[in-house]
Amino acid sequence: MVAPQHSRSGSETVPYDAAPYDSAREDIPVTDDLVVPNRTDTDPAGRGSAPKLTRDAIGEILRAGKHLLVQGAMGLHVSDGLAGKVAAAKSARFVTAGTVSGVGKTPELLRRELRRARAEAPGGYVGVNLMAAINHLDFERLARTALVEGVSFIVQGAGISREVIRWCHDAGTPFAGIVSSGRLAAMYEKWGADFLVAEGAEAGGHIGDIELPLASLVEDVRSHSSLPVVAAGGIDASDVAAYLAQGVAGVQLSTRFIACRDGDAHPAFKTMHLGKGADDVVVITSCVKGMKARAVRNAFTDALAAGDHFPPRSKAWFFGKDGYGGRTKACIECLGTGLCKCRASDFHESFCITDALLRAAILGDTVRGLFYTGQSVTRIPEGTVQELKTVQELVLELDRLLEDGSHRTHALSAASASP
C-alpha cells in the first residue's frame, strides 16, 4: 500500500488502495447509462473542407500583424470539444487554430469530432494531431480519415513518420512536425513540412528526453530552419509576449484550454488541474518506449513510482463489444510493435496507457486515472470548475495581456526618449 502524501500546496494524495472499488483489477461494467462517445452518428453530408494552414497562409497572417494561437491536442478524448471553440474564437491579435487528437479514436470517432469542430467554426482552421508511436495500421487509417475530411493540417510527434508527410503532400494538406531539436527541424524542412511545433521540456504528456527549456529550444530551431515555428510546452498567458518577441509565428496552449469551461473532459479532470503547486506535478516513466511523461501527481503515479504494474483490462465499456478496430482483447495493441513496455513484458511491468487515460478523461477517476498536464498547471488561477473561463474569454484575456504589455512598452520608450 502506498502511504498518503501531502504536497506543499496542501492537497492530499489519496493512496491507491484507498479507492472506493473492491479491487484494483476490477473491470468497468458495460452499462447503457454510461455516456461515452462510442457510437457512430456521423452525417455523411457533414463532410467539408477547412482552409489549409500552409506556410504561405502563415506568412500572410504575420504580414497582417497577427500571430497564430493553436490549441494543442492532449490525451485520449481529453481535448474533445475544444477544437471548434478555439477555431471560432475572435481575437484582435491572433488567428486561432483548433487541433483534434486522433489518438485512441476510431476513424468514425475522428470523423465525427472533425465535423463537429467544423460545424462550430465554419471557415476556421481545424487540424489533427497524430502520434507516430501508435499502432501503424491505426496511424494510417486515422491519417487517411483526416485527409479525406479535408483538415487544415496534420501535426505529428512521438516519433518520425516520413509516410505521413508523403500522404499529406499527395492530398495537398499541410504537415507540421513536432520537434525537440534544431537538427530535427532541419530534417522536416528538407522533407517538405509547412511549419514546426517546437515543444519544450515543460510540456505535458510525453516529453521524451528533451532537456532544453522552451526559450532555448526556440532559438535552436529557428537557427536551423526557415520554417514558421509555433512555440509549445508549458506556456501560460503571461509567457506569450516573450515567445512572440523571439520571432515565433505563434504559440500553442494545451493545459490552459483543458482547464476551461468548454470541452468534454470530465469535470474531475478539470478539477485535477486546479490549485496545484510544484510538488503536485511529476514526471513518470511511460509504457510508451519508457519515455518520460509529465502528469498531475495522484495515487496512480505514486503506485508507478513504487514499482507497481497495471495490466490491461477489458475496454468493452468504452469501445463496445466489437472492440477497438476489431481488437476485443484487454490489450488492444494501441502502440506500434515493440513500443509498449507493458505488452513486451507479457504485462508484468509498467501499465496499460489506454486504461489509465480513459479512466481520467471519461470517468474522472482521480485515483486510478492518469492526468497528463503541462508545467503551467501550477499557474492556473481559478480554484473551482465553476470559476473557469470559456475559450473565448481566455482568448480575449490573452489579447488584453498583450495590449497592456504593448502600452507599457510604448510608455517606457516615450519616457526614455524625453529630454
What is the pLDDT, as a whole number, of residue 27? 60
What is the pLDDT, as a whole number, of residue 206? 81
What is the pLDDT, as a whole number, of residue 50? 84
- What pTM, to 2 d.p., does this model score? 0.87
- Taking the chain (419 residues) in runs of 10, the rounded mean pLDDT of each run is 36 51 48 43 54 97 98 90 97 97 93 97 96 87 96 89 92 96 95 95 78 90 98 92 97 95 95 96 93 94 96 95 93 92 95 96 96 94 96 96 64 40
Query: Could you give the CA distance from residue 284 to residue 292 in angstroms, rounded to a whole number?
Result: 6
- What's the DSSP call for residue 372? B
Angle between helices 107-120 and 136-148 (to 10 degrees): 30
Domains, the chain:
44-263 (3.20.20.70)
Yes or no: say if 377 and 270 are a contact pair by the CB < 8 Å rule. Answer: no
Query: Could you give the CA distance from residue 252 to residue 72 in angstroms, rounded to a whole number?
Result: 6
Query: Could you give the CA distance from residue 263 to residue 38 in angstroms, rounded to a whole number?
Result: 17
What is the pLDDT, as a whole number, of residue 9? 41
What is the pLDDT, as a whole number, of residue 6? 33
Q: 187: number of CA atoms within 13 Å, CB side?
A: 12
Query: Could you give the CA distance from residue 419 to residue 414 in angstroms, rounded to a whole number?
Result: 10
N-term to C-term CA, the chain: 70
Cell of 353: 496507457
Cell numbers 473491470: residue = 27
- Which of helix, strand or coil describes residue 164? helix
What is the pLDDT, as a whole number, of residue 48? 64
Nearest to 97 by CA among 62, 148, 165, 51: 51
